Amino acid sequence: MSSGVKAVRQSEKILEKARNKIKEGVDNYRAASDAPPKVDVYDVIEQVFSLINPTNGDESKISIDEVSGCLRRAYLDRKDPQEATHKQMMATIIEKGALSILEKPATGEIDAGSGVKLVGRADRVEDEVVMVFRSVAELPEMPFAEHFMQLNAYLHMFNKQEGVIIYFDTEGNELEFVVPRSEKLLNETTRRARILNTLLKNNIAPTLEPSNRCINCPHNEKCYYPSEDKQKWGFWARGKWRELKAKPIL
């Protein structure tokens, strides 16, 4: 080994020792300091996100948002929550914040039977109508099923005969759908609340409800395997690998 190479390596060792010593000194200073830790923007994002997305630990209270969406996601959000990224948190904060100026929120509950309460928060309740505001990338031709279910539950919760779903796209265009009250849909909503309550109490994950929402769901990999793994027995959590695997040609 040449003397030049030896000198370079010796210099690298000295620099590494110096970096470690500086790091040790900084860590010791932080540990000994009585000054409170600084709050950065990420702390603020997390605090605001937790305020607008409170956790619900009472299994006897099921939210309208939970039963109108995927029951499996609602179960996993409670039993095995997935930490959202700061980007996902900010997307939620921006959407909620943009529409909050239109809201005059009202909270309530419905007896779903079997000791279960269906709870919710309507965006705006007026004398004769309930309103819900939703932000979408593109205005839909028909209301989304989950929004129809949510509004119908609010109509029964606040004893109104009809409500309005108002969609806004990213350019500020809006589209309204007037929705009448449905007793049949409420029965289905309360049935789903009782099902989720039973599954939560017995630690049984609901079956899959595949939809376009699965693509961006934070629990996606808990339901769908990211790669073909025969030992895991299934393309999705309750699916059957053998049914999806290519069959031999006779």
Positions of E strands within 103-200: 106-113, 116-122, 124-125, 129-135, 162-168, 174-180
Residue recorded with tokens 């005059």:
104
Q: Is the per-residue pLDDT at 134 higher than 70?
A: yes
pLDDT band at residue 19 under the 50/70/90 scheme: low
Question: Among the listed ranges 71-80, 90-99, 141-150, 196-205, which one has the minimum average pLDDT value?
Answer: 90-99
Strands 116-122 and 106-113 come out as: antiparallel
Asked, for residue 217, whether it belongs to a domain, the answer is no
Query: Could you tell me which residues are beta bridge partners of residue 62?
Result: 118
- The whole-angstrom separation of Cα 120 and Cα 213 is 21
Whole-model pTM: value is 0.71
- The whole-angstrom separation of Cα 216 and Cα 225 is 14
Q: What is the DSSP string of 183-203?
A: HHHHHHHHHHHHHHHHHHHTT
Q: Is the per-residue pLDDT at 40 higher than 80?
A: no
For residue 135, what are the domain limits?
Answer: 59-202
Tell me, what's the pLDDT at 17?
64
Q: Is the per-residue pLDDT at 103 higher than 90?
A: no
Residue 235: helix, strand or coil by DSSP? Answer: coil
Asked, for residue 112, whether it belongs to a domain, the answer is yes
Residue 87: helix, strand or coil by DSSP? Answer: helix
Tally of structural domains, the chain:
1
Asked, for residue 169, whether it belongs to a domain, the answer is yes
> When comparing pLDDT for 24 and 196, which is higher?
196
Nearest 5 degrees, angle CA 115-CA 117-CA 121? Answer: 175
Asked, for residue 17, whether it belongs to a domain, the answer is no
Q: Is the per-residue pLDDT at 192 higher than 50?
A: yes
Asked, for residue 219, whether it belongs to a domain, the answer is no
Asked, for residue 151, whether it belongs to a domain, the answer is yes
For the chain, helix, strand, coil in percent to 5 are 50, 20, 35
CATH of the domain at 95: 3.90.320.10
Q: CB within 8 A of 144, min separation 6: which ones? A: 134
Asked, for residue 36, whether it belongs to a domain, the answer is no
Positions of E strands within 7-105: 61-63
Tell me, what's the pLDDT at 204?
95
pLDDT (tens digit per residue) in 193-234: 999 999 999 999 999 888 888 888 888 888 876 544 444 444
Asked, for residue 115, whether it belongs to a domain, the answer is yes
Tell me, what's the pLDDT at 18?
59
pLDDT band at residue 3 under the 50/70/90 scheme: low
Q: Is the per-residue pLDDT at 93 higher than 60?
A: yes
